[in-house]
Amino acid sequence: MPLVTRFDTPASLRDLPAGHAFYDIWHAYLAGGLITTPGSGTGTGEFFDPSEINVDPVAERLLVWMGFPRTQFVTHRDDRRTAFVNADASVATRNLQNEYCEWFVKRNAAGLITKVTVVTETPEYWQRLWDADRSRVVALYRALVSPAVVEADLRSGGPGSAYNKFNRWNTTDGIVHFIQSINTLNAALGLAAGSVATGAARDGYEMPAVAPTSVDPRVKLDIGALSRKGLSITLREPIGIYIVGYDDTGWTKPSGAPVDNYWRIVRGSAGMVLRLEYEVPPGSGFVVGDIRIGGRRIEWGGQIAEHVTCMIGGIAGLRTPR
Amino acid sequence: MTTKKMAAAGVVHVAPLEMTIKPQALTAQFNNLIGVIGKLEPVFQKGVLIPGLGGDPAAEIPGAEPEPVYDTKARANIQGNTIPGFNKDHQQFLFFRLGNVRRAKAWLRWIAPLISSMEDVLAWVRAYRALRKRLGAEPPMCATWINIAFSCRAIELLTSRADAAAFGDQSFRQGLAARSTHLGDPTDRAHPGHRNRWCIGGPKNEADIIVIVAADDEPDLTTMANLIKAQAAASGLRLLFEQRGDNLPGPLHGHEHFGFKDGVSQPGVRGKVSTAPGDFITPRYIDHVADLERARIFAKPGQPLVWPGQFLLGERRQNTEHLYASAPPASNFPRWAALGSYLVCRRLRQDVPTFWKFAISAAAALGIPPEKFASMLVGRWPSGAPIMRTPGADNAALAGDEWANNHFIFDDNTRASSLRAIPGYAGDTYTQATADMLGTVCPHFAHIRKSNPRDIATDLGKPHDSLLRMILRRGIPFGPPIVGIKRPSPGLLRKERGLMFLCYGATIEDQFELITRRWVNSPIQPNVGGHDPILGQADQYGVRARVIDFPTAGGPRRLRIKNEWVIPTGGGYFFSPPIEAIAGVLAA
């Protein structure tokens, strides 16, 4: 029997009632996107579709990476301020937030940050949710971003037109899911599947450098190493890109006292977070922008993303007869 | 969700089951164990002629990117504890506060000629090796060396606010006390490790200057330290604190107080001592004809080569996307600071009984010997032999073999190294490490895996990035040992002991702090599996318990570590300037 008989939604979200056709659509999307791919070179394993292939799992591995774009840190390796400014800047496209982690910064009239929202939700999910029940999408936007959202805001044109992922509530006025061009579940699946081909590399030192991001080499090296062991590899259910950790060690209130726990999981669950908010409760007398990290005031959302750890889960095993 | 087989196989990810460790009265077990820890002395191979300095043309890789040459003038300008390191058995650390700036400058002019350079240290090492070769035994040579470094405040007082602000490393400008809790140090003011309680480097007792005195001979050390203190006092400098450090005696030489060999793994600094072919600062042992890829990356097995700009300001540094190509130097510092380094000093108190009592209890719960358990926390056996190469038991011969004791990777099988001919060396004949991607041999939490991920991917991506994080460690223990002593007396147990942790780098934030914050202190970075149980700290909303997911035959079991055995008690962030700048700029 295959490892997975039906792919679940990320973090097992239930945005629509149980039994809704949306869940079949989501399963079909993943089943179509997960293509069994043989390894090559020193990678003698394979990437497999767990809804089709029988594999006895022998290992699980969580692949973790920093939410803030490494590209910005290494491009501005002597100037972290510029790295943070740049990564926060392009709210209309978030094109520099290329680690499967995007964020939105809310500021008060004084320019101080009041809330940072970090997401790892994919456009594929929201597109299919729109196709299944656009009124539900509107309701979710209202709950997540603003009560002012109306359906017309989310469309590309008149009634019945397509979902516009670059709508104002997912760009300049808020965030719901990824918009950066390569932050898609499809790209993540492709990256994972392609990583079983390892060329002539015998170990991590011999793997090509690939992208300057954290996530690409992370996936390439980990899946490549599993492939070199002849293992069959797939992504762990429920398949998704998650926030697995967030660290506020050494963050202080204006008084100098350690911060309390201001993180809030809005979608997903602990260990499989899809939407994470950082906001000081009203009445505390200060806001996020008054908090200091290691003595430095929070001025950009990227400072929070630097302390967010993202993850996809991998499963490796050996093929078994049907 | 229907993941039947995953659930059946127990691989759906949940936190591993926690194992309860019963508190026990462990005095008898501790007394018996502590007496034998570290007694296995590394066996050094006899008759091996370590290639001396001076150049070996065969070490040059044809077509390789040229490495910078540090001529006599440059070598005389670089402080010797940065490169190649003092490595003396006795050291004294003097922490001063500036008084009258004009008088302090006079003292700086006095001490500047005494500062030991890279040239001094390399020349001494060269002479020592030559004499050892002639004698066939350790030569009776002694040296006393001095280095100096300055806080950002001191640089501002001695030069200008603009010069101090020109140092690009913000952590340096802030100082260790300001960064303390971000490094996981206690936030609770009642905790003995809280910065307000530090003997040096807290908010109210930050040092402006650290002077490092190092000697082979104890009286020499004392004489020199006393002279410096007297001159400093006469110049209005206030001695805030001083700390003596000594290598542990006998078979524990080079070990830290828990009993483990320390400092086995260091990066190899690229660069040459002269234009003579093969005259490298770090000798090259990999045969590039037999294994070009490894020879490009490693000086000797397990010792990666790193461009000097990772440690010396203004020098070409590691390319962020390449394992052996260089990148342009940094420029975010005052011009006069070129060839200087940032210096991190952490005074870490070690609670040896608490560490070993935890090891005894946990090992009992797991059904393994305590020494094995503790070695899995470190990643090496007490002798220094890597657990990756000898998982079953310590191995004194492997520990003493410098071409083998650091030769292993984690995620794939380690292949035999291709060494150039080393006269008298029989070769690395020990069993090579096999792939341990899941951390069942050397766990993900093991100190050496956390702080030096080698070939594995991290939360920052590829091993290329890990080379950017490497530091030059120059630590030395302080206080009397209790390992190796059977039934240590209550008086001895009460005495303070620990490690003066020192490291040099070209940034504090992206090297020392990154290793500490992102890896050592994190249960999920660079890989999921727990905190570094040796150096790691946790302090989330005042909770300081750490966890490790210990590998067992039935899958990982979570152990919660409530006690702490490494407690920060002082330190500072400093800048170790080029020697010319001491008299020429800081004392001008």
d(CA B487, CA B480): 14
Helices then strands, counting H and E runs in chain A, come out as: 9, 13
Question: Given a cut of 80, is residue B5 above it in pLDDT?
Answer: no
Using CB atoms, which residue from B184, B412, B461 is nearest to A228? B412
What is the CB-side half-sphere exposure of residue A42 using CA atoms within 13 A? 18
Question: Given a cut of 50, is residue B3 above it in pLDDT?
Answer: no
Q: Nearest CA of chain A to the CA of B341: how many Å?
A: 15
Please judge whether B517 and A309 are an interchain contact, meaning their C-beta atoms are less than 8 angstroms apart.
Answer: no
Select from B417, B325, B328, B419 the least CA-distant residue to B64. Answer: B325
Using CB atoms, which residue from A60, A204, A309 is nearest to B411? A204
Copy the structure tokens of residue B253.
Answer: 């030489």
Q: What is the mean pLDDT of the segment spanning B252-260?
A: 96
Helix (H), strand (E) at residue A178? none
* CB of A198 closer than 8 Å to CB of A43: yes
Residues in chain A: 322
Q: What is the pLDDT of residue B132?
A: 83
Using CB atoms, which residue from B4, B321, B412 is nearest to A225? B412
* 3-class DSSP assignment, residue B182: helix
d(CA A68, CA A11): 22
Q: Nearest CA of chain B to the CA of A161: how many Å?
A: 32
Nearest residue in chain B measured CA to CA from A309? B459
HEC letters along B529-543: CECCCCCCCCCECCE
Please judge whether A61 and B522 are an interchain contact, meaning their C-beta atoms are less than 8 angstroms apart.
Answer: no
d(CA B244, CA B213): 9
Residue type, B305: L
* Chain B neighbors of A269, CB-CB under 8 A: none
In this structure, the number of other CB atoms found within 10 A of the CB of residue A215 comes to 28
Copy the structure tokens of residue B456.
Answer: 């594995």
Q: Quick one: residue A228, left, alpha or beta (phi over 0 = left, psi -120 to 50 = alpha)?
A: alpha
* Chain A neighbors of B183, CB-CB under 8 A: 250
Give this prediction's pTM.
0.96
**In this structure, what are the phi and psi dihedrals at residue B55, rounded to the nearest 5 degrees?**
105, 135
* 3-class DSSP assignment, residue B77: coil
For residue B127, what are the contacts with CB-CB under 8 A and spacing of at least 6? B141
Question: Given a cut of 80, is residue A3 above it in pLDDT?
Answer: no
Please judge whether A205 and B297 are an interchain contact, meaning their C-beta atoms are less than 8 angstroms apart.
Answer: yes
Beta strands in B106-205 (DSSP E): 144-150
Q: Which one has a higher pLDDT value, B7 or A303?
A: A303
* Chain B neighbors of A62, CB-CB under 8 A: 13, 524, 528
Q: Using CB atoms and an 8 Å cut-off, which of residues 373-412 of chain B contact chain A?
A: 409, 411-412
d(CA A297, CA A304): 11
B551-581 pLDDT tens trace? 999 899 999 999 999 999 999 999 999 999 9
Q: What is the mean pLDDT of the segment spanning B476-491?
A: 94
- Could you write out the DSSP letters of every residue in A260-295? ---EEEEEEETTEEEEEEEEPPTTSS--GGG-EETT
Please judge whether A1 and B5 are an interchain contact, meaning their C-beta atoms are less than 8 angstroms apart.
Answer: yes
A157-205 pLDDT tens trace? 999 999 999 999 999 999 999 999 999 999 999 999 999 999 999 999 9
Using CB atoms, which residue from A74, A229, A309 is nearest to B459? A309
Which residue in the block uniquely carries the two structure tokens 């005259």? B279
Q: What is the mean pLDDT of the segment spanning B199-211?
A: 98
Q: How confident is the model at residue B44 (pLDDT cuts 50, 70, 90)?
A: confident
**In this structure, what are the phi and psi dihedrals at residue B36, rounded to the nearest 5 degrees?**
-110, -10
Select from A138, A199, A156, A178 the least CA-distant residue to A274. Answer: A178
Nearest residue in chain A measured CA to CA from B317? A77
Q: What is the pLDDT of residue B11?
A: 37
* CB of A7 closer than 8 Å to CB of A25: no
In this structure, the number of other CB atoms found within 10 A of the CB of residue B19 comes to 15
* CB of B287 closer than 8 Å to CB of B303: no
Between the CA of residue B70 and those of A131, B85, B162, B267, what are the distances in Å? 67, 16, 29, 18
Q: What is the pLDDT of residue B25?
A: 66
* CB of B183 closer than 8 Å to CB of B521: yes
Please judge whether A249 and B170 are an interchain contact, meaning their C-beta atoms are less than 8 angstroms apart.
Answer: no
B147-172 pLDDT tens trace? 999 999 999 999 999 999 999 999 99
Q: To the nearest whole percent, how much of chain A has pLDDT over 70?
A: 99
Nearest residue in chain B measured CA to CA from A13? B1
* 3-class DSSP assignment, residue A307: coil
Chain A interface disruption, residue of B4, B6, B206, B307, most A CBs within 10 A:
B6
What is the CB-side half-sphere exposure of residue B471 using CA atoms within 13 A? 26
Using CB atoms, which residue from A205, A213, A294 is nearest to B182? A294
Between the CA of residue A71 and those of A68, A75, A76, A86, B310, what are the distances in Å? 9, 6, 8, 11, 19
Q: What is the pLDDT of residue B13?
A: 44
Question: Given a cut of 90, is residue B216 above it in pLDDT?
Answer: yes
Copy the structure tokens of residue B314.
Answer: 């203004």
Question: Given a cut of 50, is residue A252 above it in pLDDT?
Answer: yes
Question: Given a cut of 90, is residue B43 above it in pLDDT?
Answer: no
Q: Nearest CA of chain A to the CA of B531: how many Å?
A: 13
Select from B391, B399, B412, B505 the least CA-distant residue to B454. Answer: B412
CB pairs under 8 A between A and B: 189
Q: What is the pLDDT of residue B2?
A: 39
Does B321 contact A at CB distance below 8 Å? yes
* 3-class DSSP assignment, residue A167: coil
Q: Nearest CA of chain A to the CA of B169: how many Å?
A: 8
Please judge whether B521 and A249 are an interchain contact, meaning their C-beta atoms are less than 8 angstroms apart.
Answer: yes
Question: Given a cut of 60, is residue B196 above it in pLDDT?
Answer: yes
DSSP B305: E
Does B174 contact A at CB distance below 8 Å? yes
Please judge whether A293 and B182 are an interchain contact, meaning their C-beta atoms are less than 8 angstroms apart.
Answer: yes
Q: Quick one: residue B571, left, alpha or beta (phi over 0 = left, psi -120 to 50 = alpha)?
A: left
d(CA B570, CA B500): 9
Question: Given a cut of 80, is residue A107 above it in pLDDT?
Answer: yes
Which residue in the block uniquely carries the two structure tokens 């899946």? A223
Q: In a 10 Å sphere around its CB, with 0-12 CB exposed, 13-18 middle and 19+ buried, how is residue A156 labelled?
A: exposed
* Chain B neighbors of A229, CB-CB under 8 A: 435, 437
Q: Using CB atoms and an 8 Å cut-off, which of residues 104-163 of chain B contact chain A?
A: none
Q: What is the pLDDT of residue B51?
A: 56
Please judge whether A258 and B332 are an interchain contact, meaning their C-beta atoms are less than 8 angstroms apart.
Answer: no
Q: What is the pLDDT of residue B439?
A: 96
Please judge whether B323 and A205 are an interchain contact, meaning their C-beta atoms are less than 8 angstroms apart.
Answer: yes
Across all residues in chain B, what is the average pLDDT? 94
Copy the structure tokens of residue B419.
Answer: 């060494």
Q: What is the pLDDT of residue B136?
A: 81
Radius of gyration of chain B from Cα atoms?
Answer: 24
Copy the structure tokens of residue B533.
Answer: 């149980």
Using CB atoms, which residue from A4, A205, A252 is nearest to B455? A205
Q: Using CB atoms and an 8 Å cut-off, which of residues 452-481 of chain B contact chain A?
A: 454-465
Q: In a 10 Å sphere around its CB, with 0-12 CB exposed, 13-18 middle and 19+ buried, how is residue B107 labelled?
A: buried
B68-108 pLDDT tens trace? 999 999 999 999 999 999 999 999 999 999 999 999 999 99
Q: What is the pLDDT of residue B47?
A: 66
Using CB atoms, which residue from B9, B13, B462 is nearest to A217? B462
First vs last C-alpha separation in chain B: 73
* 3-class DSSP assignment, residue B584: helix
Nearest residue in chain A measured CA to CA from B179? A294
- Could you write out the DSSP letters of every residue in B429-458? -SPPPPP-TT-SSS-TT-HHHHH--TTS-B
Q: To the nearest whole percent, how much of chain B has pLDDT over 70?
A: 96
**Dihedral sign, CA of B328, B311, B174, A104?**
positive
Q: Using CB atoms and an 8 Å cut-off, which of residues 279-318 of chain B contact chain A?
A: 293-294, 297
Q: Nearest CA of chain B to the CA of A183: how many Å?
A: 17
* CB of A312 closer than 8 Å to CB of A241: yes
Does B7 contact A at CB distance below 8 Å? no
Please judge whether B411 and A78 are an interchain contact, meaning their C-beta atoms are less than 8 angstroms apart.
Answer: no
Please judge whether B412 and A202 are an interchain contact, meaning their C-beta atoms are less than 8 angstroms apart.
Answer: yes
Q: What is the pLDDT of residue B138?
A: 83
Q: What is the pLDDT of residue B49?
A: 62
Q: Which residues pair with B298 in a beta bridge?
A: B304
Q: Nearest CA of chain A to the CA of B462: how many Å?
A: 5
Q: What is the pLDDT of residue B9?
A: 35
Please judge whether A294 and B178 are an interchain contact, meaning their C-beta atoms are less than 8 angstroms apart.
Answer: yes
Q: What is the mean pLDDT of the segment spanning B386-393?
A: 98
Q: How confident is the model at residue B52 (pLDDT cuts 50, 70, 90)?
A: low
DSSP A10: G
d(CA B77, CA B115): 10
Residue type, A315: I
Q: In a 10 Å sphere around its CB, with 0-12 CB exposed, 13-18 middle and 19+ buried, how is residue A58 labelled?
A: middle
Q: Nearest CA of chain B to the CA of A217: how many Å?
A: 5
Q: How confident is the model at residue B32 (pLDDT cuts 50, 70, 90)?
A: confident
What is the value of ipTM here, to two decimals? 0.97
Q: What is the mean pLDDT of the segment spanning A217-224?
A: 97
Question: Given a cut of 70, is residue B12 above it in pLDDT?
Answer: no
Residue type, A99: E
Which residue in the block uniquely carries the two structure tokens 């234009």? B275
For residue B570, what are the contacts with CB-CB under 8 A and spacing of at least 6? B198, B199, B200, B201, B202, B241, B243, B345, B346, B347
Please judge whether A56 and B1 are an interchain contact, meaning their C-beta atoms are less than 8 angstroms apart.
Answer: no
B272-296 pLDDT tens trace? 999 999 999 999 999 999 999 999 9
* CB of B42 closer than 8 Å to CB of B252: no
Which range, of A145-154, B127-136, B210-219, averages the lowest pLDDT? B127-136
For residue B438, what are the contacts with CB-CB under 8 A and spacing of at least 6? A59, A61, B551
Q: Quick one: residue B340, left, alpha or beta (phi over 0 = left, psi -120 to 50 = alpha)?
A: beta
d(CA B509, CA A79): 12
Copy the structure tokens of residue A322.
Answer: 């049907």
Using CB atoms, which residue from A74, A203, A236 is nearest to B320? A74
Which range, of A260-269, A277-286, B45-54, B60-69, averages the lowest pLDDT? B45-54
Copy the structure tokens of residue A276.
Answer: 């994470």
What is the CB-side half-sphere exposure of residue A273 using CA atoms within 13 A? 21
**Dihedral sign, CA of A117, B543, B459, B517?**
positive
* Chain B neighbors of A261, CB-CB under 8 A: 541
Q: Nearest CA of chain B to the CA of A185: how many Å?
A: 19
Which residue in the block uniquely carries the two structure tokens 């963050």? A251
Residue type, B124: W
Cα torsion through B259, B264, B266, B272, rounded to 10: 140
**In this structure, what are the phi and psi dihedrals at residue B312, rounded to the nearest 5 degrees?**
-115, 125
Q: How confident is the model at residue B54 (pLDDT cuts 50, 70, 90)?
A: low
* CB of B290 closer than 8 Å to CB of B421: no
Q: Nearest CA of chain B to the CA of A64: how many Å?
A: 5
